[in-house]
Amino acid sequence: MTKENKLQIIPLGGLGEIGKNMTIIRYNNQILIIDVGMAFPDDDMPGIDVVIPDMTYIMENKDLVLGVLITHGHEDHIGALPYLLRNLDVPVYGTRLALGIIQTKLNEAKLSNVRTVEIAPRDSVKLGVFKVEFINVSHSIPGAVGLAIHTPLGTVVHTGDFKLDHTPASGEMLDVHKFAELGDRGVLCLLSDSTNVERTGFTPSEKFVGQNIDEAFSSAEGRIIFASFASNVNRLQQAILAAHKYNRKVAVVGRSMVNVVDIASDLGYLDIPEDTLVEVDEIVNLPVEEVCILTTGSQGEPMSALTRMAQHDHRQISISPGDTVIISASPIPGNEKAVARNIDMLFKLGAKVIYEHISGMHVSGHASQEELKLMISMVKPRYFLPVHGEYRMLMKHADLAGELGIPKENTFIAEIGNVIEFTRHGARIADKVTSGRVLIDGLGIGDVGNIVLRDRKQLSQDGILIIVLTLNGANGSILSGPDIVTRGFVYVRESEPMLDEVKENTRRIMARCQQNGIREWASLKNQIRDGVGKQLYDKTKRRPMIIPIIQEVKGL
Amino acid sequence: MTKENKLQIIPLGGLGEIGKNMTIIRYNNQILIIDVGMAFPDDDMPGIDVVIPDMTYIMENKDLVLGVLITHGHEDHIGALPYLLRNLDVPVYGTRLALGIIQTKLNEAKLSNVRTVEIAPRDSVKLGVFKVEFINVSHSIPGAVGLAIHTPLGTVVHTGDFKLDHTPASGEMLDVHKFAELGDRGVLCLLSDSTNVERTGFTPSEKFVGQNIDEAFSSAEGRIIFASFASNVNRLQQAILAAHKYNRKVAVVGRSMVNVVDIASDLGYLDIPEDTLVEVDEIVNLPVEEVCILTTGSQGEPMSALTRMAQHDHRQISISPGDTVIISASPIPGNEKAVARNIDMLFKLGAKVIYEHISGMHVSGHASQEELKLMISMVKPRYFLPVHGEYRMLMKHADLAGELGIPKENTFIAEIGNVIEFTRHGARIADKVTSGRVLIDGLGIGDVGNIVLRDRKQLSQDGILIIVLTLNGANGSILSGPDIVTRGFVYVRESEPMLDEVKENTRRIMARCQQNGIREWASLKNQIRDGVGKQLYDKTKRRPMIIPIIQEVKGL
C-alpha cells in the first residue's frame, strides 16, 4: 500500500494579524514558500525594531524547499527574506521591481550569491511537482502578482495583495481573464487578501488620486512638498507627471524614496521626463513655483524627512508660508497621532496642508467587499482560506464567501501554524507546526522575549530605584551605603527627603534582619524590596522597579 | 482719566489639543471659569495617569474668581475640578446630571463643602458684572449646555460640545431659538466646538443608532452584551428600552457604568422600566435570550469589564458561542488597536460582535461642518474663536467662518495661554499667561517632568544595565565587584558571556584610570559609561541606560 498523497497549506504569518505574510505550500516532500514578510512591532513591544515569522518549520525541512515565490515588493511580503536566506540557499522568484527592491535589502544584509529569477505576469515556472503561474494584479506597488500553483491534487490560487483597478495609473489591470480561466478549469483552494474586507463597495481607482493631484498642482502657488510611501511608484509617477505638466522640477528626499526612485526608473517602472529631476541643493536656486519635493514621512515616522521638516529640523528644507504639503497616504493604524502632529506643525509653519481625511489624496491598494466577491466568483474555489487579516476580517471574509455559496465547512478560518491538508478525500486542519513571532532588536534575533518586554514595560511606567549596600563579610554589618540611584521615578532634587527616608527604612530593615538572624542575600533583598516598595507606594501611589544590590567585602 | 474697560478670553486648555478644556472669561477684575477638564496622556508620557491644565494663572488671581461654569459632565470638561477646588473655594454651576457626576468625583477626592448651584437650560444667573444664560444643546451626554455670557462690552457665546440633533433620544433639541435670538441682538464673540470640523455634512441623529440597536436586539438569540461609554446615558436608555421591548433583563457591569446608571436614574435622566434591572449574579438563572448586560470597555481599556471578558478573565461573565456583543462607540484616536484586539478575542470565543466600523452602532456627539456653519450663521458673531480642537481643526473651522463672511482679521487661531482682549475699540491677542500641561502620576501632581519622562522612554527602549563597584577609600583599588545587574536589556541567562566581558572591560577601564591618576568618581563613572556603552552597542546595536554605581569603604 502506498502512502496517500497530501497537499498542505501552512500559513506562517499574516493570519490573525496584519503583516509578516508568509505561507508554505507542501506536496508530499516538496515545499514552496510564498512571501517572507516582516511586521512592525506593537505598542506592547517597546524597543523592538521589527517582527518576523518563526521559521523553525522551514529550518526543520530545509532540504525540501524548492523556492520562494514573491508576490510583490512590500516589506510585509519581503522584509524577512534576509533572515531566511542567511540560512537557506534557494532561488527567489519575483517580478523585476520586487527583485530590484529585494536586491537592495540583500546588499544591506551583505548577502551575496542569492539566486533570483525574474518572472513576469503570465509566465509559468515548473518547480518540482508544482507548476506556478504568475497573474497580474493591481496594488499600491507595481509588479504585483497573484499565483496559481498547480499540483497533482488540484490548483491553489493565492491572490497576493490586490485590488481591481479598471484604470490603473500604469500597467495592465488585474488579469480577470486568467482568474476566470482558472475558475473555469477548477480551483481547489483560494487564498485571498482580507485587508479591506470591512469596507463596503469598491476601492476607488488610482486615477482618482491622479485627478486630485493634478488639481492641487494646478492651483499651488509656492513649493509643493509631496509625501507618500516610497514604494507607491504609481503615485510618485502621477506626482512627477503633474510636476512636469505645471513646469516644476522634482527633488527627491529621504533615503527610501531616493532608493525606490532610482530602482524604479532604472527598471522602467517610473517614467521621469528629461530635465525634471534636480538635486535637493539646487532647489534654492529655483523660483518657488517651479519646485516639487518628493519626500518620505507620510506616516509621521520620527526620523523621516517630512517629520524633520515639520519640526523645523531638516538640514536642507525649511517649510515657509506659501508651501503646499500634500500627504498622499492614510495613516496605518497606530500612526494616526504621529501623522496628525506633523500636519499641525506644518500648518503652524504656515504651509497649506492637503491630507487624506478631507482631500481624496489617497486610495487603498486593497480590494473592498465587491471586489473580493468578484474574485471568489471568478475563481469558484472548492475550498476557501481567507488570508492577510486579523481574526475579525477573516471571519467577515468567510461570511462573504458563504453568501456566494462556498459552504461553511469548506472555508477555513485558520491560525498561523495550522496545517490545512488536502487529500483525494477532502480537506481538514490536520496539524499544528511551530509558528509565532520572532522579535528583532538591534542585532538580536529572538533574544528579547516576554520577561525582557515585561521589564521594559514596568520600567517605562514608574522607573527604577536602585539601593546599593556594601556589607562586611565577617559580620554582615553595613560598610557603605545604603546609596540610592533612581531613574524615571521622581526628580531626585525635589525628592531628597523621601529618598533619605528610603535609606532610613533600608537601615531599619537591615537591622531587623540582623536581629532575626537573616543573612542570606536573597532574603535580605526580598525584605528590602517589599519594605521599600510599600513605603514608596504609600507615599506616591507608584510602583517603581526596586533593585537592591548587595556587595560584600571579605577578610577585614 | 479712568482705565479702559477690558474683556479678556483666556483659553487654558483645549486649543491645539483634544481634551482638558478650560477657558477663562475676565472682565477687568472679575473672572469666570468655563469647564475644568482633564486629558488622557499621549504615547510619549509613559506611566502618566492623567493630564490637567496648568492653573497658575487662576492661583495668581484667586480672589477675582466668581465661579465655575460647567457645560456638561464629560471628563474632558470636569476631570480636573478636584485639583482646582482643593485650592479655590468658588461655586460650581452645572445641570443636574453634570453636578451628580461631579459630586461623585468630589466624594472620591474627599472634598466636602464645595458649593454647587444647579441650573437648567434657559436659566440665567448674575455673577458680578456678568449675566450668564444657559442654553440647551445636544451632545453624547444629557444635560449639556452652551453659554451666553453678557458683559458690558458685549455678549460672549460658548457652544460647549454640541451637535444639532433634530430627533434626540431624549430631551429637547438644541435651542436654535435662543442662539438665533442672541445672534439677532448681537454677539461679540463666538467660541465653538471644532472636534468634528473635518467631517462634511451633518452628524446623524442619536435616533439612527436607536433603530440599529432595536434591530440587533430583535434578532439576537443568545445573551446581549452592550458596551458603550458610561456617560452616554441616551445610548444606555435606548439599549435598556430595547431590552425591555424584547423581554430581556438588564445587568450593569463595570464601576463607571454602575455609577452613572445609579446617578442618571436617581436624577431622572434614565428611565428604567420596573423589574428590568437585575444583579449580575442573577443572570445565570435566566435563559440566555432574556439577558442583556450593559458594560464598560468600549475603548478596549485594559482593566475594563469587556476587556476582561474578551480575555476570558472576568469574575462573573464568560463569553460563550451564541452571545452577541455590541460595541456602541468609536475608538478614540490611539485606542484603535486595543479595541480591535478585543473584537478579535470576542470573535474567537464564539461571540457575534457588532462593532461600529460596519454596523451604524455609533454616532458622534459633535457637530459636522454643516452644523458648525449653522451655528455661526445663527449667532452672527463679530469675532470668532474656534475651540476644542487640534491646530489643523481650528484652522479648518476658521476657514468655514471665512466662507460665511467672518473676516479673517476677526478670527483668532489662538493657543492656550493667549489673552484675547476686547475693548471698545476692537480685539487682539494682547498677552500670554502661564499655561501648559500638568502631569498626574499616582499622588504626584506635576512632579514628573521632561527628564523623568525621557528616562522612562529610554528605559522602555533598551532597558538598564547597572555596574556596581566597591572601592578601597585608601587607594582606589577594587574591594568588591564589578557586579552587573540588568533589566529589560537581554536575558541574563543567555547573555552571561557578554556580561562577563562587561565586567572584564570595567576592570580594564578602572585599571587605566588608576594608571592615569583619575580618581574623581564622576570621571570614573563617565569612563565606564562610555566604554561599556560602546562595547554593548557594537555587540548588540542597543543602547541600554548604563548606571555605574561606586561605593567606598574607608578606614581599612
Q: Inter-chain contact A463–B452, Cβ cutoff 8 Å? A: yes
Q: In this structure, what CATH number is given to the domain that contains residue B409?
A: 3.60.15.10
Pick from A332, A356, A380: which residue ends a domain? A356
Domain assignment of residue A451, yes or no: no
- B343 at interface of A, judged by CB pairs closer than 8 A: yes
DSSP A5-64: P-EEEEEEESBSBSS--EEEEEETTEEEEE----BPPPTTSTT--EEEE--HHHHHTGGG
Is the same domain home to A44 and A185?
Answer: yes
Pick from A356, A388, A415: which residue ends a domain? A356
Is the same domain home to B27 and B140?
Answer: yes
- B485 at interface of A, judged by CB pairs closer than 8 A: yes
- Label residue B336 by pLDDT band (50, 70, 90): confident
Is the same domain home to A21 and A168?
Answer: yes
pLDDT at B1 over 60: no
Task: Write out the three cell numbers for B389.
Answer: 480642537
Give the pLDDT confidence score for residue B43 in this predicted structure: 83
Domain assignment of residue A456, yes or no: no
Is the same domain home to A40 and A94?
Answer: yes
A63 labeled part of a ligand binding site: no
Task: Write out the three cell numbers for B89.
Answer: 473655594
Give the pLDDT confidence score for residue B444 in this predicted structure: 84
Give B450 to chain A, closest Cα distance, Å. 10
Give the CB-side neighbour count of residue A423, counting CA atoms within 13 A. 8
Range of the domain at A262: 206-356
For testing the chain B interface, which of A42, A418, A487 should be mutated: the one with the most B CBs within 10 Å?
Answer: A487
Catalytic residue among B35, B165, B193, B462: B193
Q: Please provide the average confidence, as pLDDT, over all residues in chain A.
A: 94
More confidently predicted of B334 and B462: B462
- A336 at interface of B, judged by CB pairs closer than 8 A: yes
Domain assignment of residue A18, yes or no: yes
| Cα(B230)–Cα(B299) distance, integer angstroms | 11
- B128 at interface of A, judged by CB pairs closer than 8 A: no
Q: Are the beta carbons of B458 and B468 closer than 8 angstroms? A: no
- Answer yes or no: B366 catalytic: yes
Question: Cis (ω within 30 of 0) for the bond into B168?
Answer: no
- Label residue B521 by pLDDT band (50, 70, 90): confident
- Label residue B172 by pLDDT band (50, 70, 90): confident
Q: Inter-chain contact A333–B344, Cβ cutoff 8 Å? A: no
Q: Are the beta carbons of A187 and A164 closer than 8 angstroms? A: no
In chain A, residues with a C-beta closer than 8 Å to the C-beta of B343 are: 392
Q: Inter-chain contact B46–A552, Cβ cutoff 8 Å? A: no
For testing the chain A interface, which of B325, B332, B468, B494 should be mutated: the one with the most A CBs within 10 Å?
Answer: B468
Domain assignment of residue A511, yes or no: yes
- Among all residues of chain A, which has the CA nearest to that of B343? A392
- Label residue B13 by pLDDT band (50, 70, 90): very high
Q: Are the beta carbons of A54 and A46 closer than 8 angstroms? A: no
A379: helix, strand or coil: helix
Question: Cis (ω within 30 of 0) for the bond into A482?
Answer: yes
Q: Inter-chain contact A447–B545, Cβ cutoff 8 Å? A: no
pLDDT at B490 over 90: no
Q: Please provide the average confidence, as pLDDT, over all residues in chain B.
A: 94
DSSP A240-292: HHHHHHTT-EEEEESHHHHHHHHHHHHTTS----TT-B--GGGGGGS-GGGEE
Q: What is the pLDDT of residues A334-379, one digit of tens each?
A: 888 899 999 999 999 999 999 976 778 999 999 999 999 999 999 9
Give the pLDDT confidence score for residue A94 in this predicted structure: 98
B332: helix, strand or coil: coil
| Cα(B92)–Cα(B57) distance, integer angstroms | 19
Give the CB-side neighbour count of residue B1, counting CA atoms within 13 A. 2
Pick from B402, B425, B443: which residue ends a domain? B443
Q: Are the beta carbons of A465 and A544 closer than 8 angstroms? A: yes
Give the pLDDT confidence score for residue A2 in this predicted structure: 63
Q: Are the beta carbons of B30 and B130 closer than 8 angstroms? A: yes
| Cα(B405)–Cα(A242) distance, integer angstroms | 34
Q: For residue B43, how many other CB atoms are within 10 A of its CB?
A: 11
Is the same domain home to A226 and A102?
Answer: no
A44 labeled part of a ligand binding site: no
Give B420 to chain A, closest Cα distance, Å. 19
Q: How far apart are the first and last CA of chain A?
A: 81
Domain assignment of residue B2, yes or no: no
More confidently predicted of B172 and B493: B172
Is the same domain home to B409 and B396?
Answer: yes
The total number of structural domains that make up chain A: 3
- Among all residues of chain B, which has the CA nearest to that of A449? B491
| Cα(A495)–Cα(A493) distance, integer angstroms | 6
- Among all residues of chain B, which has the CA nearest to that of A369? B358
**How does strand B92-94 pair with strand B464-472?**
unpaired
Q: What is the pLDDT of residues B461-483, one digit of tens each?
A: 999 999 999 888 888 788 888 99
Helix axes B369-379, B391-403, angle to 10 degrees: 60
Q: In this structure, what CATH number is given to the domain that contains residue A547?
A: 3.10.20.580
Q: What is the pLDDT of residues B183-225, one digit of tens each?
A: 999 999 999 999 999 999 999 999 999 999 999 999 999 999 9
For the CA atoms of chain B, what is the radius of gyration?
Answer: 29
Q: What is the pLDDT of residues A178-202, one digit of tens each?
A: 999 999 999 999 999 999 999 999 9
For testing the chain B interface, which of A311, A330, A464, A477 should be mutated: the one with the most B CBs within 10 Å?
Answer: A464
Give the pLDDT confidence score for residue A556 in this predicted structure: 66
Q: Where are the beta strands (DSSP E) in B152-243?
A: 154-158, 187-193, 224-227
Is the same domain home to B34 and B98?
Answer: yes
Give B232 to chain A, closest Cα distance, Å. 25
Is the same domain home to A473 and A526?
Answer: yes
When CB atoms are compared, the residue of B447, B540, B553 closest to A491 is B447
Domain assignment of residue B1, yes or no: no
Q: Using CB atoms and an 8 Å cut-off, which of residues 39-68 of chain B contact chain A?
A: 42-43, 46-47
Q: What is the pLDDT of residues A370-398, one digit of tens each?
A: 999 999 999 999 999 999 999 999 999 99
Give the pLDDT confidence score for residue A43 in this predicted structure: 83
Q: For residue B290, how many other CB atoms are within 10 A of its CB?
A: 15
Which whole number is the average pLDDT over A238-242?
96
Task: Write out the three cell numbers for A400.
Answer: 462573504
Is the same domain home to B412 and B480?
Answer: no
In chain A, residues with a C-beta closer than 8 Å to the C-beta of B488 are: 47, 452-453, 455-456, 459
- Label residue B556 by pLDDT band (50, 70, 90): low
Give B143 to chain A, closest Cα distance, Å. 31
For testing the chain A interface, which of B459, B465, B538, B553 should be mutated: the one with the most A CBs within 10 Å?
Answer: B459
Share of chain B above pLDDT 70, in %: 99
Q: In this structure, what CATH number is given to the domain that contains residue A214?
A: 3.40.50.10710
- Label residue B2 by pLDDT band (50, 70, 90): low
- B466 at interface of A, judged by CB pairs closer than 8 A: yes
Residue positions of A annotated with a catalytic role: 193, 366
Closest CA to A294 of A267, A262, A257, A264: A257
Is the same domain home to A397 and A484?
Answer: no
Domain assignment of residue A453, yes or no: no
- Label residue B273 by pLDDT band (50, 70, 90): very high
- Label residue A473 by pLDDT band (50, 70, 90): confident
More confidently predicted of A506 and B476: A506
Domain assignment of residue A455, yes or no: no
Is the same domain home to A14 and A90?
Answer: yes
A335 labeled part of a ligand binding site: no
Which whole number is the average pLDDT over A104-115?
93
Tell me, what DSSP letter sits at residue B482?
A: E
Give the pLDDT confidence score for residue A366 in this predicted structure: 97
Is the same domain home to B185 and B77?
Answer: yes
